[in-house]
Amino acid sequence: MIRSLSCLAALTAVTIATEAAVPPAPKLLPKDTLALFTVPDWAKASADLGSSPGGKLWADPAMKAFRDNFDKKLQEKVVGKMEKDLGIKVADYMDLVRGQFSIAVIQNSWKGAEDTLPGFLIVIDTKDKSDQLKKQLEEVRKKLSESKKPVKTEKVRDVEFSSLSIDLPDGDGDEDADDKDSSPTKVQAGGKKMSLLFGQVDTALLVSDSVATLEKVVAGISGGAVSSLSEETAFQSSESAWFRQAMAYGWVHVSPMYTLASQKLGETPNEGADAMGVDPQAALKAVGLGGLKTISMAWNIDGAGSGATISMAIPEAQRTGIFKMLSASTKDSGPSAFIPADVIKFQRWRLDGQKMWATLEETLAAVSPQLNGFVQMMVAQAGKDKDPSFDLKKGLVANLGDDIITYSKAPKGSTMEDLSNPPTLMLVGSPNGEGLSAAMKAAAGAFGAGSGEESKDREFNGKKVRSLRMPAAPGKKDNKMELASSAGYLAMSTTPAVLEEFLRSVDGTPRSLKENAAISEAAQKVGGMGTGMFGYENQRESMRSQWEFLRSGGLQSVLGEGEEGGWAEVLDFKALPEYDKVMKYFGIAVFTGATDAQGMHFRFYGPNAK
């Protein structure tokens, strides 16, 4: 018994030591990391993806023709060239990924100068495949040597790295990169070459273009005293909120990049200002980027579904410009009782229209007093030539509420015109919907969009329906929008039937989206329907027309096949199966947007299809 326990303890110790050899990304990367994407456990993530609806869709026998063509063409057009240049088999290296897979951008001594770049780093932890990694790296070095390619050796804390000079994607020069001067990365003449360093540290494959980056990372793995990303306060906040259980996550440290950009623009402020007095440095701050600290992204998959989060850290006290305009009020944002049950897309955003306008004026004044004055003059004079008493600001802005709803029904067909113009209704909350409708009609007329035979008003169900001639939508010869007021909203649509359905809903809706229990259940995964922004999509129905559009070759006809060997060869959508054979993999999806004292957060979730 004691002997067994001793063996178990020894085995546990070895396991812990092995797992601790390559620290997780936050402990591994230096504190001056600007951006990061990491999959903490590649093997687990791959298994989770394979068992997800998307993974099952890809593996379905019905997808074989599309899948086989994709694999073949990707090998021929992309992977094969890389394998030829480096003398490797990509599949051999993909099989080595067992632990973390991380890509990072490191600032090093980069200060925004155009002749330098930040460093980049790729980390692949092979865990129990480290011996195989060592063998394959030796083979790569041998093949590169045999092909007469200039490979040098760099020592970073007694670890040997191979340094290879390679062409950048748009480069055609023949200058050799200066391997010794690789921190920060030097952009060679014309920006055409760079150094690529690769080597093994413990169980990890490290790839970088910067010795300075490797110095920090190798020191971290070997236990050196290096400040890591985990010590960065801005990262700690994101990690504790979003990254703990994530299958994969990304992080961008915006603050230092904003500082560098602002300093660069501030070097020649007078030359940067344009005819309207817009100073680029002032504009950058006014639109709100000065308050944006970090952007975080996280993805999760479990047995019930998959989710994602995008969070922007913008402290409330520093929230200006665009971010202040788009901050939703924490109010009910779920489907109202009049929303039809058969809509395939729904979104409700509790934005205060009058506050948005006030913030827009505030932002314009900060960017340029001259520009703000010009806009104010245009607004004040709009429509005066036709009606001296018309006041655009009083009629429009003063009648805006704090509720915006849009919903769509299934497209009528699978043509580009059908997909671009599904039956859609927009509802704008208003304390005076009729006044807002009249003001919009008058404003459109002032700008030449409200006249003509097709813009005549009509009545439906006791409500006045106003018509506006709008700029033609893609694939349409003309475009008419109709407006009507009902139930505290101004309704707008280019599809009369959808508008009329809404106007009838005041008499009662047979079936409402609000009654859909699956939506309510999924909403709990993203914080509920009271965050100020909520959306829903019936992907099983919305994908049908899109899928058939791709199968019919519609995308190629719109974008063009391109030259032989282009993307259309790799993604041969004509090889997709009929939608009914794969529709079981699509279900519903929901998302929310929330604003709190720390920032703005958007969460997405899709339960597994049933």
Residue range 294-306, pLDDT digits in tens: 999 999 998 899 9
Count of C-beta atoms within a 10 Å radius of residue 98: 20
The pLDDT, as a whole number, for residue 4 is 40
The pLDDT, as a whole number, for residue 15 is 35
End-to-end CA distance of the chain: 49
Between residues 99 and 182, the one the model is more confident about: 99
Amino acid identity, position 152: K
The pLDDT, as a whole number, for residue 114 is 67
Count of C-beta atoms within a 10 Å radius of residue 379: 17
d(CA 551, CA 577) in angstroms, rounded, equals 8
Between residues 234 and 384, the one the model is more confident about: 234
Query: H helices within 287-352, ranges in order?
Result: 321-325
Strands (E), 344-446: 345-349, 404-408, 424-429
Give the pLDDT confidence of 347-403 residue by residue, as tens digits. Answer: 999 999 999 999 999 998 888 888 888 888 888 887 777 778 888 888 899 999 999
- pLDDT, mean of residues 400-417: 91
- pLDDT, mean of residues 305-328: 95
Q: 3-class SS at 251?
A: strand
The pLDDT, as a whole number, for residue 11 is 35
Short-list 212, 262, 231, 224, CA closest to 106: 212
d(CA 213, CA 198) in angstroms, rounded, equals 12
Report the relative pairing of strands 532-538 and 345-349 from DSSP bridges. antiparallel
Amino acid identity, position 238: S
The pLDDT, as a whole number, for residue 526 is 96
Strands (E), 400-448: 404-408, 424-429
**Over pLDDT 90: what percentage of the chain?**
55
Give the up-direction half-sphere exposure of residue 251: CA atoms within 13 A in the CB hemisphere: 33
Model confidence band, residue 568 (pLDDT cutoffs 50, 70, 90): confident
535 CA to centre of own chain? 16
Amino acid identity, position 174: D
Q: 3-class SS at 494?
A: coil
Least confidently predicted of 246-250, 379-383, 492-496, 580-584: 379-383
Sign of CA dihedral 346, 350, 354, 357: negative
Burial class (CB in 10 A: 0-12, 13-18, 19+), 26: buried
Q: What is the DSSP letter of 473?
A: P
Between residues 337 and 456, the one the model is more confident about: 337
Average pLDDT over all residues of the chain: 84
Short-list 303, 384, 335, CA closest to 530: 335
d(CA 166, CA 188) in angstroms, rounded, equals 11
Instruction: Indicate if the pLDDT at residue 91 is higher than 70.
Output: yes
Report phi then psi at 512, rounded to 5.
-115, 150
Give the pLDDT confidence of 168-203 residue by residue, as tens digits. Answer: 555 344 444 444 444 444 544 444 577 889 999 999
Q: What is the 3-state secondary structure (H, E, C) of 139-186?
A: HHHHHHHHCCCCEEEEEECCEEEEEEEEECCCCCCCCCCCCCCCCCEE
The pLDDT, as a whole number, for residue 558 is 62
The pLDDT, as a whole number, for residue 60 is 97
**Cβ within 8 Å of residue 345, ≥6 positions away:** 406, 407, 408, 422, 535, 536, 537, 538, 542
Report phi then psi at 5, rounded to 5.
-65, -35
Selecting from 3.40.50, 3.40.1000, 1.10.8, 1.20.1740, what CATH number does the domain 22-50+101-231 have?
Answer: 3.40.1000
Structure tokens at 273: 């200002």
Short-list 67, 41, 55, 64, CA closest to 608: 55
Short-list 220, 111, 96, 109, CA closest to 159: 220
d(CA 573, CA 72) in angstroms, rounded, equals 14
Residue whose entry in the numeric block shows the structure tokens 């229990």: 517
- pLDDT, mean of residues 505-533: 91
* Domain ranges for the chain: 22-50+101-231, 243-313, 314-545+585-607
The pLDDT, as a whole number, for residue 8 is 36
d(CA 440, CA 303) in angstroms, rounded, equals 49
Instruction: Indicate if the pLDDT at residue 7 is higher than 80.
Output: no
Short-list 121, 131, 236, 119, CA closest to 187: 119
Structure tokens at 78: 């992309």
d(CA 334, CA 520) in angstroms, rounded, equals 9
Between residues 483 and 416, the one the model is more confident about: 483
